[in-house]
Structure 1
Amino acid sequence: MTGMEHTCPPQITRLLLLAGEAAGLDRSRLARVPGLAVVGEDDIRLPSASLVRVWQEWETALRECGGGTLPWKLWRPGTLGVWDYLFSTADTLVDAFGVGDRHAAAITDPAESFVVTVDGAGRLTVGFRGVFAGHPVFPIISEFATGLILTSARSAAGRPLTPVRVTLPGAPPRRHDHLIEAYGTAHLEFGAELPSVTFSATDARTPLPRADPALAAILRDHARTTLASARPVLGWLDRFRVEVELSLPDGDLLAVAHRLRMAPRTLQRRLREEGTSWREEIERARRQWVEHLLQDTRMTVESIAARTGYADQRALRRAIHRWYGYGPAALRRDMSPS
């Protein structure tokens, strides 16, 4: 999964954008969210943080017209690509969610997962473990995740399903009639560790009408191939940092701005908006390079200073003392394999 960490495919972001536009939200507010310029392409993976930024920007407005369940009103079979069809070709809901978890990276960040359990009475509970669980927008993301679980199950079963229980993290909202309507049950529990949906034993084990083991195997191979060939899209700050590293030892602001096709003042403004500055980013890049050269080479401190853009070895020693509280020799010993 190397290279895919902290990324997600574009399908859910597209669904969220459609929901926002249906709610009358202005997409121009999202102009600075990394990756959205290519969200229509199927072979890319966006920074996971970009999806969270969309939730942040539109949370208040979405709360007024359906919350995290609103996007599912726009869902159609195939909206989530191969993941939708993996469900419909499985034998039962238990099998479907097991396959869905193994291929969760087909719709979300590889670090996220679906937690599938069957209790002693045969009831199936499917929870969602998200990497942004501590983020302020996670409650609305949880509403979305439980909607995904329930919508996928209903589509695979080809009939209405009434969940035994739906759990959501966070405190209950003042009114949650829209959630009762969306989930089809009043059995909602708040303050849970994970958002989850519980299905009856009958629903969990009833054979799915479009079960097809041969097609399911083909779809699993397709899901793996699609993931392996996807192209991660760097966010703006990521692209900038690559350019800064390439600019060393000189660290020329004008050259970096030119390669990013923006004016130097615009570049500095964008950095302020990201909570950083040109000076901080140059020091960050030099520090990373110094650490690499001390750990992985036998270069002298004088040579490292010249390679990373310091005036002389005394300037580099002062920088290392500022970063770590001791000198390069001690730092090299600390970083050496034991």
Structure 2
Amino acid sequence: MTLQTTNRIKMPLGFWDSIRQLGLTAQDVARKARLPLTIITEPVVTTIQYFAIWQAYSELIDDTAQGIIKLATGFETAHYPPAVLAAYHARDYRDALKRMTRYKQLCPPESLHIIEKSEDCTIELDWLNTEQPGPPILTGITLAFLLELGRKGTGQSLTAKFVEFPHFTGDVQTLEAYFECPIQIGAKCSKLTLHREDLDRPFVSYNAELLEILTPVLDQSLNAQQYNRSITHMVKWIMKRSLSGGRPDIHTIASELGMSERTLQRRLTEEGSNFKHLLTQVRHEQAREYLSDPSLDIKEVAFLIGYEDQNSFYRAFRAWEGDTPSKWRTEHSEETR
């Protein structure tokens, strides 16, 4: 099986209605994106088309910050797709964010990862199965909507603690006023950091009966979609995301994929692989990538790929490359000059 299905993205039905409310037409966006007008009535697009639509919207709206805020706040709940409805009608903010993270997999290319630590809850945005990052306006709307979800669900004016963007060319002060927190531009990845205590706030929009209907249907769709993806690719992607300072175990990854360890092992075997081999492969690939960054010392590289003992990393790397990490780095840095 291949990952071609993940290149099929379903546009939210309310997207075109929302941009009309902002004074734009669907035809204008399609033309600006250099896409056929049939794209308006065809709900499924490719990743390239999806990014082109958002970039066109960004250019037509003129003010990127206002474009983010207006669309994030103006998207009516009546137009929410089922996956977002399940989050909006969740029990509390934590439950809503977990549902958003889980069901976002039904509509790539954005992927969300939640990290709760100390007094913070950080949500990282990544891009699934594409080397090209999404347009800054798409990143901004995704992060703004996560905060807006909490505000609408709780009925309270929640604030963020910190927002990070790799790239952004709009009015940062306007965006800071919306998030009510500092915004860093030039970060390695896109992040929204919330007050962890806010996650316990109950949702006034909680609807247990609706969730009983939506959850099984969404879970069934997610399981079917995951089965049609390359499980090897998915496991490697999760491993790379969770390597730092530890060794990803099959139980944790199987749980994140929503399947049993036995099912995961069987799926990997069907694709001619196994968990141990993939972990070694991921560590090797990440080691080469990190060593190519001169700002990282070797001890830090060892930690980032899950080795607490630097000597163990040296032995593993010598087995992979037939050389020490420091010599490999020196030789390859000379090759790129």
Q: TM-score, normalised by structure 1?
A: 0.55
- 1:5 and 2:2 equivalent? no
Equivalent in the alignment of 1:46 = 45
- 1:55 and 2:54 equivalent? yes
More relative contact order in 1 or in 2 (CA 8 Å, sep 6+)?
Answer: 1
Pairwise CA distance, 1:59: 2.7
Q: CA RMSD in A?
A: 3.4
Q: Kindly provide the amino acid, as one letter, of the partner of residue 38 in structure 2.
A: A
Q: 2:193 aligns with which of 195, 198, 201?
A: 198
1:94–1:62 distance in 2 versus 1, CA, 3 Å: same
For 2:159, what is the secondary structure of its paired residue?
Answer: coil
Conservation of the 8 A alpha-carbon contact between 1:88 and 1:157: no
Cα distance in structure 2, aligned partners of 1:148 and 1:119? 22
What is the identity percentage for the equivalent residue pairs of Structure 1 and Structure 2?
17
Cα distance in structure 1, aligned partners of 2:52 and 2:38? 14
Equivalent in the alignment of 2:231 = none
Pairwise CA distance, 1:229: 9.6
Pairwise CA distance, 1:98: 1.3
**Per-residue deviation, residues 241-291 of structure 1 (Å, max 9, x unmatched):** xxxxxxxxxxxxxxxxxxxxxxxxxxxxxxxxxxxxxxxxxxxxxxxxxxx
Pairwise CA distance, 1:219: 1.1
Pairwise CA distance, 1:161: 0.9
- 1:182 and 2:173 equivalent? no
Within-5 A mapping of 1:168-247: 168-170=165-167, 173=169, 175-183=171-179, 185-224=180-219
1:112–1:31 distance in 2 versus 1, CA, 3 Å: closer
Conservation of the 8 A alpha-carbon contact between 1:10 and 1:45: yes
Give the gaps of 5 or more residues in structure 1: 231-338
Pairwise CA distance, 1:174: 7.1
Cα distance in structure 2, aligned partners of 1:33 and 1:153? 34
Pairwise CA distance, 1:31: 7.6
Cα distance in structure 1, aligned partners of 2:133 and 2:12? 23
Q: Kindly provide the amino acid, as one letter, of the partner of residue 48 in structure 1.
A: T
Equivalent in the alignment of 2:127 = 130
Equivalent in the alignment of 2:95 = 95
> Which of the pair is proportionally richer in helix?
2
Pairwise CA distance, 1:210: 3.6
Conservation of the 8 A alpha-carbon contact between 2:29 and 2:60: no
Cα distance in structure 1, aligned partners of 2:68 and 2:15? 11
Larger radius of gyration: 1
Give the gaps of 5 or more residues in structure 2: 226-337
**Per-residue deviation, residues 74-125 of structure 1 (Å, max 9, x unmatched):** 211132311232113323222221121111134x31x53211111122x222
Equivalent in the alignment of 2:38 = 37
Pairwise CA distance, 1:193: 2.6
